């Protein structure tokens, strides 16, 4: 059996077995024991060459001819430089030839020096990053063997987790330092189709295993991670999310009310005045408020001290009443039209079924901010320390506002709690929410992410970014991510941005990135021992993200597409823009919401003239569990994944197509506020001129 280069330090240092290695897992580890301060030179047959140049963090090695079949250095391999009591570790970044004279050439290797292994006591056999002692001209160079590589990459323990294998030697596992990875922020970068989502799932799974009490909040724009974490994560959707409108600050409220378009200046000024008054008016609904008012003189609402950004409850009805009261005091028709248009805008937004997560039960229970924060950020975890926020079902006009609210509240809770409950905030498709171009995107979302990136670690709020276009992310934010997992990127702008964000000697190694294969990643930063070209471990197919599990062009499902399946898809499509009051998530054999008697004209009870129509069916309490979620497979299971949930409400076999029921009558006319409270219906006055159309904000 061939000796490892670590055993070849002749008289100076021999590897011995030491049972206690202080790694926390009880495994033995090969550790060099130095008997002399300076080891003897390696055997001439083991020497690759000698050092002929040193510059900063780089070194040049002149390579000697190798025997036929002997292991040769290549780009990406590690070479050790024997310098006194230290074995300096360098990574080969370039192999070439240099002319000497008379047509004679010499072969050279360029190395980036990444760390050293101490041969002599103290700290013998320990790898540390950085170079404490530089090599000298003429020092011998050797290829690192398996024993030295294990010293460099370590083993799994309470602080390190195995996420992949070394590309040059798959027997060597690559481990991440959980504390350094999380506390100093990280980013996963890569083009579509290279296994980026699987890599994110692996990293987060390992964090959950080693830090079960660290809470994780994952923004999932494409609804692909729900089945990756089993019962350790709660999944929030528009059906079971409760995010009251009064938690939005003023900028987020404007973005929601105006549908992502620039606000009308006159309407914005009016809202800035009346929202604090509506918040002050809500104080009258507090228990004991009536008795207090009877004993004290009436206070001016402006004395409450609330601003439009104060996160306290208020009622939309109070806001509308204040606007209506202001409109009644105006004589100028133009100003009245402006306020009436604003009232109509707010009413339309509140009554739209897709915004039910903001308005339904928003004021039930009074001030419920503590309950909402506890549910969103898992306080306490109760066995589910992770929250997955699925954004695919939210209206596109408010997605930016929702993400901004979540980022801001995550940071503010850490700020005002002094970091008592650490949180990792992971943002998929980060370039959508923090674009480099200040003219596009939503400013508050960018500022909230930037604040987490720059100040979050002081308050226990950490950031993980995932993107396929790093060049489109605000460079201030991505530069704060110390550990980068770089998968294949072919765009030159993306590569240039990564080079500018890297302060490590690994900057010269980024030439690997365009040639990386699927699941291959080049990672560097404090989260890993040294800059490493590795391959993520493979996870069972039944717990892979949906985007990768479904990316099969040879699927046989397409052969069975018929009218029933198409009708089922259309049914789900339409239901996404309807009220969820008549739909039960727990009913496994439910019918179309359009089939509900509450929505069928023929089944509607006959109402007497001038009375409002009957109320809709009672609202079904939302469930906090997703409708479809696969539990993780047992350890070692690699079988075929379970069948994906069907979109059909009826089975394909033996199903008889039936015409899709559609309402055939127009909706009832809108009611006046008095009719909504039980009074006789009154005709609604003619609507004000339509609000001017503004082009949507670029995304």
Q: How confident is the model at residue 115 (pLDDT cuts 50, 70, 90)?
A: confident
Determine the average pLDDT of the residues in 379-393: 91
The predicted pLDDT at position 157 comes to 85
Boundary residue ending a domain (109, 127, 155): 155
More confident residue, 125 or 469: 469
CATH of the domain at 380: 3.40.50.300
- Distance, in Å, from the CA atom of 361 to the CA atom of 313, rounded to the nearest integer, reads 12
Which range scores top for mean pLDDT: 545-549, 570-574, 609-613?
570-574
Boundary residue ending a domain (549, 579, 609): 549
Cα 152 versus chain centre, distance: 30
The predicted pLDDT at position 610 comes to 43
- What is the percent of the chain with per-residue pLDDT over 70, rounded to a whole number? 69
Coil, helix or strand at residue 292: helix
Between 173-187, 296-310, 342-356, the lowest mean confidence (pLDDT) is in 296-310
498 plus 378 within the same structural domain: yes
More confident residue, 121 or 267: 267
The predicted pLDDT at position 620 comes to 43
pLDDT over 80 at 668, yes or no:
no
134 plus 252 within the same structural domain: no
Handedness of CA 102, 103, 107, 112 (dihedral sign): positive
More confident residue, 513 or 430: 430
Which range scores top for mean pLDDT: 454-463, 606-615, 633-642?
454-463
Determine the average pLDDT of the residues in 84-101: 85
Determine, yes or no, domain membership for 280. Answer: yes
Determine the average pLDDT of the residues in 494-516: 72
pLDDT over 90 at 6, yes or no:
no
12 plus 146 within the same structural domain: yes
Q: How confident is the model at residue 503 (pLDDT cuts 50, 70, 90)?
A: low
pLDDT, averaged across the chain: 75
534 plus 450 within the same structural domain: yes
Q: 10: left (phi > 0), else alpha (psi -120 to 50), else beta?
A: left
Q: How confident is the model at residue 649 (pLDDT cuts 50, 70, 90)?
A: very low
More confident residue, 475 or 614: 475
Measured CA to CA in angstroms, residue 6 lies from 3, 9, 46, 129, 156 at distances of 8, 7, 11, 18, 22
The predicted pLDDT at position 532 comes to 84
Determine the average pLDDT of the residues in 31-50: 51
Domain span at residue 269? 247-358
The predicted pLDDT at position 301 comes to 58
Determine, yes or no, domain membership for 574. Answer: no
pLDDT over 70 at 659, yes or no:
no
The predicted pLDDT at position 335 comes to 82
139 plus 100 within the same structural domain: yes
Instruction: State the residue for tokens 């009877």.
Output: 294
Determine the average pLDDT of the residues in 477-490: 90
Determine the average pLDDT of the residues in 387-400: 90
With 0-12 CB in 10 A as exposed, 13-18 as middle and 19+ as buried, what is 280? buried
Determine, yes or no, domain membership for 555. Answer: no
Contacts with 401 (C-beta within 8 Å, 6 or more apart), sequence order: 248, 252, 253, 255, 256, 442, 444
Number of domains observed in the structure of the chain: 3
144 plus 22 within the same structural domain: yes
234 plus 258 within the same structural domain: no
339 plus 293 within the same structural domain: yes
The predicted pLDDT at position 5 comes to 41
378 plus 522 within the same structural domain: yes
Q: How confident is the model at residue 581 (pLDDT cuts 50, 70, 90)?
A: very low
Boundary residue ending a domain (123, 155, 187): 155
pLDDT over 70 at 458, yes or no:
yes
Determine the average pLDDT of the residues in 259-278: 88
The predicted pLDDT at position 123 comes to 63
Cα 462 versus chain centre, distance: 11
pLDDT over 50 at 9, yes or no:
no
Rg over alpha carbons for the chain, rounded to the nearest Å, is: 32
Determine, yes or no, domain membership for 677. Answer: no
Instruction: State the residue for tokens 């021999």.
Output: 14
H/E run at residue 82? strand 78-83
pLDDT over 90 at 23, yes or no:
no
H/E run at residue 407? helix 396-416
Handedness of CA 463, 469, 471, 474 (dihedral sign): negative
Q: How confident is the model at residue 650 (pLDDT cuts 50, 70, 90)?
A: very low
- Distance, in Å, from the CA atom of 619 to the CA atom of 599, rounded to the nearest integer, reads 14
Cα 535 versus chain centre, distance: 21
pLDDT over 90 at 648, yes or no:
no
pLDDT over 50 at 359, yes or no:
yes
Task: Read off the pLDDT of residues 46-88 as tens digits, 9 standing for 90 and up.
Answer: 788 999 999 888 899 999 887 666 777 888 788 999 888 889 9
Determine the average pLDDT of the residues in 235-264: 89
386 plus 511 within the same structural domain: yes
pLDDT over 50 at 682, yes or no:
no
222 plus 292 within the same structural domain: no
Determine, yes or no, domain membership for 120. Answer: yes
Structure tokens belonging to residue 7: 């055993």
The predicted pLDDT at position 298 comes to 53
120 plus 229 within the same structural domain: no
The predicted pLDDT at position 295 comes to 44
Which range scores top for mean pLDDT: 1-10, 206-215, 469-478, 556-565?
206-215
The predicted pLDDT at position 497 comes to 79
Determine, yes or no, domain membership for 649. Answer: no
The predicted pLDDT at position 299 comes to 55
Between 74-83, 160-169, 576-585, 607-616, the lowest mean confidence (pLDDT) is in 607-616
- What is the percent of the chain with per-residue pLDDT over 90, rounded to a whole number? 30
More confident residue, 423 or 10: 423
pTM above 0.85, yes or no: no
pLDDT over 90 at 201, yes or no:
yes
Instruction: State the residue for tokens 């100028």.
Output: 332
Task: Read off the pLDDT of residues 151-194 as tens digits, 9 standing for 90 and up.
Answer: 888 888 888 999 999 887 888 899 999 999 999 999 999 988 88
Determine, yes or no, domain membership for 469. Answer: yes
Pairing assessment for the beta strands 104-118 and 58-63 based on DSSP bridges: antiparallel
Between 105-109, 450-454, 569-573, the lowest mean confidence (pLDDT) is in 569-573
Determine, yes or no, domain membership for 22. Answer: yes
Determine the average pLDDT of the residues in 561-566: 80
Determine the average pLDDT of the residues in 353-378: 88
The stretches of 369-395 forming alpha helices (DSSP H) are 369-376
Between 183-187, 462-466, 621-625, the lowest mean confidence (pLDDT) is in 621-625
The predicted pLDDT at position 578 comes to 61
Q: How far apart are the first and last CA of the chain?
A: 61
The predicted pLDDT at position 641 comes to 47
């Amino acid at each position: 059996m061939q000796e490892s280069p670590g055993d070849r330090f002749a008289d100076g240092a021999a590897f011995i077995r030491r049972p206690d290695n202080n790694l926390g897992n009880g495994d033995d580890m090969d550790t060099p024991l130095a008997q002399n301060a300076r080891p003897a030179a390696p055997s001439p047959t083991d020497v690759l060459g000698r050092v002929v140049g040193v510059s900063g963090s780089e070194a040049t090695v002149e390579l000697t001819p190798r025997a036929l079949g002997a292991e040769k250095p290549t780009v990406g391999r590690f070479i050790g430089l024997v310098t006194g009591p230290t074995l300096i570790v360098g990574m080969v970044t370039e192999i070439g030839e240099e002319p000497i004279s008379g047509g004679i050439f010499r072969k050279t290797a360029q190395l980036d020096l990444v760390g050293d292994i101490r041969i002599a006591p103290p700290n013998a056999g320990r790898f540390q990053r950085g170079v404490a002692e530089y090599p000298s001209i003429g020092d011998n160079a050797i290829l690192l063997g398996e024993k030295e590589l294990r010293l460099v990459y370590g083993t799994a323990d309470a602080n390190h987790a195995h996420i992949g294998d070394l590309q040059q030697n798959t027997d060597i596992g690559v481990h991440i330092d959980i504390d350094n990875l999380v506390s100093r922020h990280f980013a996963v970068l890569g083009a579509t189709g290279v296994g980026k989502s699987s890599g994110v799932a692996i990293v987060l799974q390992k964090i959950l295993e080693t830090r079960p009490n660290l809470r994780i909040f994952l923004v999932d724009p494409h609804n692909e991670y729900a089945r990756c974490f089993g019962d350790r994560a709660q999944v929030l959707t528009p059906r079971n999310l409760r995010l009251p409108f009064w938690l939005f600050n003023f900028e987020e409220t404007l973005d929601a009310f105006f549908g992502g378009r620039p606000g009308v200046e006159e309407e914005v000024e009016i809202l800035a005045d009346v929202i604090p008054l509506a918040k002050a008016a809500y104080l009258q609904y507090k228990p004991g408020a009536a008795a207090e008012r009877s004993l004290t003189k009436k206070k001016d609402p402006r004395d409450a001290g609330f601003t439009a950004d104060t996160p306290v409850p208020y009622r939309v009805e109070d806001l509308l009443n204040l606007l209506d009261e202001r409109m009644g005091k105006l004589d100028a028709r133009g100003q009245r039209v402006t306020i009436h248009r604003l009232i109509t805008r707010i009413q339309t937004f509140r009554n739209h079924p897709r915004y039910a997560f903001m308005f339904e039960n928003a004021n039930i229970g009074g001030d419920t901010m503590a309950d909402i924060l506890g549910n969103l950020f898992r306080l306490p975890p109760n066995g589910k320390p992770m929250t997955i926020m699925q954004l695919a079902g939210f209206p596109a006009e408010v997605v930016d506002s929702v993400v901004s609210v979540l980022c801001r509240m995550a940071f503010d809770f850490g700020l005002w709690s002094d970091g008592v409950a650490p949180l990792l905030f992971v943002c998929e498709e980060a370039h959508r929410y923090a674009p480099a171009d200040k003219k596009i995107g939503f400013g508050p979302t960018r500022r909230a992410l930037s604040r987490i990136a720059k100040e979050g670690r002081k308050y226990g709020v950490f950031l993980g970014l995932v993107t396929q276009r790093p060049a489109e992310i605000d460079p201030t934010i991505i530069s704060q991510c110390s550990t980068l997992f770089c998968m294949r990127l072919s765009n030159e702008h993306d590569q240039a941005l990564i080079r500018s964000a890297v302060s490590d000697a690994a900057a010269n190694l980024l030439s690997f990135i365009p040639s990386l294969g699927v699941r291959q990643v080049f990672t560097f930063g404090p989260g890993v021992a040294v800059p490493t070209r590795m391959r993520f471990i493979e996870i069972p197919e039944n717990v892979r993200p949906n985007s990768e599990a479904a990316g099969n062009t040879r699927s046989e499902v397409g052969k069975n597409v018929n009218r029933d399946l198409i009708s089922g898809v259309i049914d789900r499509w339409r239901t996404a823009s309807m009220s969820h009051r008549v739909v039960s998530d727990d009913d496994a054999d439910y019918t179309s919401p359009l089939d509900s008697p509450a929505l069928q004209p023929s089944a509607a009870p006959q109402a007497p003239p001038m009375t409002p129509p009957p109320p809709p069916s009672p609202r079904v309490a939302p469930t906090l569990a997703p409708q479809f979620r696969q539990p993780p497979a047992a350890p070692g299971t690699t079988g075929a994944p379970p069948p994906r949930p069907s979109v059909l409400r009826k089975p394909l076999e033996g199903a008889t197509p039936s015409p899709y029921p559609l309402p055939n009558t127009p909706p009832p006319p809108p009611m006046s506020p008095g009719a909504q409270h039980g009074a006789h219906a009154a005709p609604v006055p003619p609507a004000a001129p339509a609000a001017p159309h503004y082009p949507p904000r670029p995304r």
